[in-house]
Amino acid sequence: MKRLDFVDVLSADRSSARESDLNNFEYSYKAEITSVYRLTDTEKLYQIRIVDKVQRHHFAFRPGQFVMLELPGIGEGPFSISSSPSRHGDLELCVRAVGNLTNFLSRVARGTVVGISGPFGTSFPVEEMENSDVLLIAGGLGIVPLRAPLFCVLENRSRYNQVDIIYGARNPSEMLFTYQYQMWRQFDINLEIIVDQADATWQGPVGLITEVLKKRIKTAGNDLSSNTYAIVCGPPVMFHFVCDMLINARLPMQKIFVSLERRMHCGRGKCCRCNIGATYTCLSGPVFDYWSVLNMKEAI
Ligand SMILES: Cc1cc2nc3c(=O)[nH]c(=O)nc-3n(C[C@H](O)[C@H](O)[C@H](O)COP(=O)(O)OP(=O)(O)OC[C@H]3O[C@@H](n4cnc5c(N)ncnc54)[C@H](O)[C@@H]3O)c2cc1C
């Protein structure tokens, strides 16, 4: 497999030589970064378009699935698709710069050509959730995979009953997608945000996400059993507390869905990096119902 130079990736001049190098590269789709938006100090939103019009139109994914993004010459990594499935191959990925690949990515310019493979993994059963109340619960970067099912709800709002988003961030400067909150609320979505630490600008509640959830459960008479589904995305420590509260409110485990973003390398069930016992999270996950999670030793 041919590798490209990092210099090529950052070059504003996308020469024909580089294009032909890309044709030798092992990936499924050639894609172009069409826009880059800085959301916080560490997260950027990338709008990425599959270059070939036919491939772009036929690219189909389900909410909760991920793609492998390859930065030629640097490497590849799994990233949740954070856009609406109805946008096909016009994808949005939100990436936190944490290491080699993601720091290089944070420096690329609009127009950079990348490789996209996928979509991979399991998804949230948004059709099964129709005619029910939906609780979307996210901590930190967990709001990223949650946006795809949220778009499905927004685009088919009348098919869902009460919809709540409960979002916890460490502090106001780390809140993601702030520019969309008003739009979500216009779709009759009850959005509650809580931060661990306030700053001078913050007027909202301070504390843990479980405090907001407790209030929501109380308004349901401490019983969510009748007709509710929950999607929970965030750091593993959050799953325990949030899912325990949901179960105590009599929500069946099979109606609680989580996304387990274990360390993954190949995304294709070959490298044995992400397995939990015999379960490969890249193939059987990342989306699991909570019943399955509890039956996987050391899953969270
Ligand atoms: C299914 C799935 C979906 C993902 N979706 C997103 C997303 O939408 N946005 C996003 O920013 N990230 C996402 N990630 C995590 C992302 O893939 C990694 O952060 C990225 O691959 C790290 O590559 P790197 O070379 O920059 O970091 P490396 O140099 O490999 O590592 C830098 C640091 O990050 C840690 N790290 C690496 N991978 C992970 C991981 N999977 N989970 C936790 N810590 C990790 C390492 O332990 C190390 O401390 C997802 C991961 C999975 C498995």
Query: What's the 229 CA to ligand 1 centre distance in angstroms?
Result: 27
Residue owning the nearest CA to atom 41 of ligand 1:
263
Query: What's the 267 CA to ligand 1 centre distance in angstroms?
Result: 12
Handedness of CA 179, 183, 184, 190 (dihedral sign): positive
For the Cβ of 79 lying below 6 angstroms from any atom of ligand 1, the answer is yes
For the Cβ of 271 lying below 6 angstroms from any atom of ligand 1, the answer is no
Of 92, 119, 146, which one is at a domain's C-terminal end?
Answer: 119
Measured CA to CA, the distance from residue 297 to residue 60 in angstroms comes to 32
Mapped onto helix, strand or coil, the DSSP state of residue 92 is strand
Same domain membership, residue 102 and residue 40: yes
Q: What is the pLDDT of residue 20?
A: 39
Encode pLDDT of 11-34 as tens digits. Answer: 333 333 344 344 444 458 999 999
Q: What is the pLDDT of residue 218?
A: 95
Beta partners for residue 236, in sequence order: none
Measured CA to CA, the distance from residue 120 to residue 117 in angstroms comes to 8
Query: What's the 263 CA to ligand 1 centre distance in angstroms?
Result: 7
Q: What is the DSSP letter of 288?
A: E
Same domain membership, residue 205 and residue 76: no
Of 119, 152, 181, which one is at a domain's C-terminal end?
Answer: 119
- Give the model's confidence band at 292: pLDDT under 50 very low, under 70 low, under 90 confident, else very high: confident
Atom of ligand 1 nearest to the CA of 93: 8
For the Cβ of 77 lying below 6 angstroms from any atom of ligand 1, the answer is yes
User: Nearest 5 degrees, angle CA 57-CA 60-CA 63?
Assistant: 135
Atom of ligand 1 nearest to the CA of 95: 11
Atom of ligand 1 nearest to the CA of 97: 26
CATH of the domain at 85: 2.40.30.10
Measured CA to CA, the distance from residue 169 to residue 196 in angstroms comes to 7
Same domain membership, residue 182 and residue 53: no
Specify the higher pLDDT residue, 181 or 2. Answer: 181
CATH of the domain at 155: 3.40.50.80
Mapped onto helix, strand or coil, the DSSP state of residue 226 is coil
In Å, what is the CA distance from 40 to each residue of 10, 44, 66, 97, 123?
A: 22, 7, 22, 11, 27
Same domain membership, residue 278 and residue 154: yes
> Number of folded domains in the chain?
2
**Is the residue at 1 inside a domain?**
no
Same domain membership, residue 280 and residue 205: yes
User: Which range marks the domain in which residue 103 is found?
Assistant: 6-119
Measured CA to CA, the distance from residue 69 to residue 27 in angstroms comes to 9
Kindly state the tokens that stand for 80.
Answer: 């949740």
Same domain membership, residue 269 and residue 146: yes
pTM of the model: 0.87
Listed in order, strand segments (DSSP E) in the chain are 29-38, 43-50, 66-71, 75-80, 90-96, 113-120, 133-139, 163-169, 189-195, 228-233, 256-259, 275-276, 279-280, 287-289
Cα 104 → chain centroid: 20
pLDDT, mean of residues 226-246: 92
For the Cβ of 39 lying below 6 angstroms from any atom of ligand 1, the answer is no
Max distance between CA atoms of the chain, in angstroms, equals 65
**Is the residue at 299 inside a domain?**
no
